[in-house]
Structure 1
Amino acid sequence: MVWLKNKYPILFISAIALFIGFVGCFKQDFIILKNSKFKEVENLEDIFIVQGYAALDTNNYASAKEAFANAYAINPNPSYLKEILGILVAQNQLEEAQKEAYAFLKQYPKDEVVRSVLVGILTNNKQFDLALKEAKTLLNYHKNAENYELISSVYFLRQDYKNASKYLQLAYNLNQSPFLLDKLAATHLLFLKDSKTALSLYETHIKTHGITKPIGDKLATIYLESKLYFDAARIYTLLFEETNLQDYARFVLEIYAKNKRLDLAESFLLKHPNINTRDALLFEIYRLQKNVKKSIQQAEMIYQNTQDSNFLAYKAMLSYESTKKRTKIYLQTIEKDLKEAAQKTNEPLYWNYLGYLMIDHDFNNLERVREGIKYIKKALEKDPNNPYYLDSLAWGYFKLKDCENAKTQMDKIPYSEIQKEEELKIHYQKILTCIQSKNKDK
Structure 2
Amino acid sequence: MAQSDRRTVRDLRRGNRARVLQRLYFDGPLSRQELGPATSLSSGSISNVVSELVAEGVIEEAGVVDSDGGRPRTLLRVAPGSGLLVGIDIGETRIRVELFDLSLTELARTERPLAQHGYDVERVVAHVRAGVADVLRDADADPARLLGIGIGVPGLIEYDSPGGAIVHGQTIGWSAVPFERLLREAVDIPPAVPLFIDNGAKTLGQAEMWFGGGRGSREAAVALIGSGVGACVVHAATPDENARSSALEWGHTTVRIRGRRCRCGSAGCLEAYVGGEALRERWQEAGGPLPPDADDETALATLLAAAFPEGGAAEPDPVALSLLDDTAEYLGAAVADLINLFRPERILLGGWAGLLLGPHLLPEVRRYAGEYALHHAASRTTIELGRLGPDAVTVGAATLPLADFLARGGSRPPVTSRPPGSPGPGALAPARRRSSAAPA
TM-score (norm: length of structure 2): 0.20
Which structure's CA Rg is the greater one? 1
TM-score (norm: length of structure 1): 0.20
> Which has the larger helix fraction?
1
